[in-house]
Amino acid sequence: MATKPDLSEFFKLSRPKRPPCQIGHALAALKDAAERDALEAACKTDPGIITNSAIRDWLLVRKHDVSVNRIVSHRKGSCTCND
């Protein structure tokens, strides 16, 4: 009887990509490249310097309602953007 071939690599590559988190969605929606760069830089900056609430307030001014918990996840790299 023939053994089944190992398809694990195909399964891994076929796994559907989940949509980005709220921050990833906001980054994609921001039309101004300078604003995108600013948001990315703010997310990479230490939370003791630029707080999650400051990022949330900045996004609210730009009509993106993002929860602080989602910002924390994105900053930790544990959101769906890193799938």
Give pLDDT tens digits for 23-55. 999 999 999 999 999 999 999 999 999 999 999
Show the tokens assigned to 7. Answer: 């398809």
Global pTM value:
0.78
The four Cα atoms 66, 70, 72, 78 give a dihedral, to 10 degrees, of -150
Q: List Cβ<8 Å contacts ≥24 apart for 28-35.
A: 29/64, 30/62, 35/62
Residue 82 Cα distances to 60, 67, 75, angstroms: 24, 18, 11
The domain spans of the chain are 20-82
Q: Please, which pLDDT band fits residue 73 given cuts at 50, 70 and 90?
A: very high
Q: What is the mean pLDDT of residues 66-72?
A: 97
Helix 52-61 and helix 33-44: axis angle, to 10°?
Answer: 160
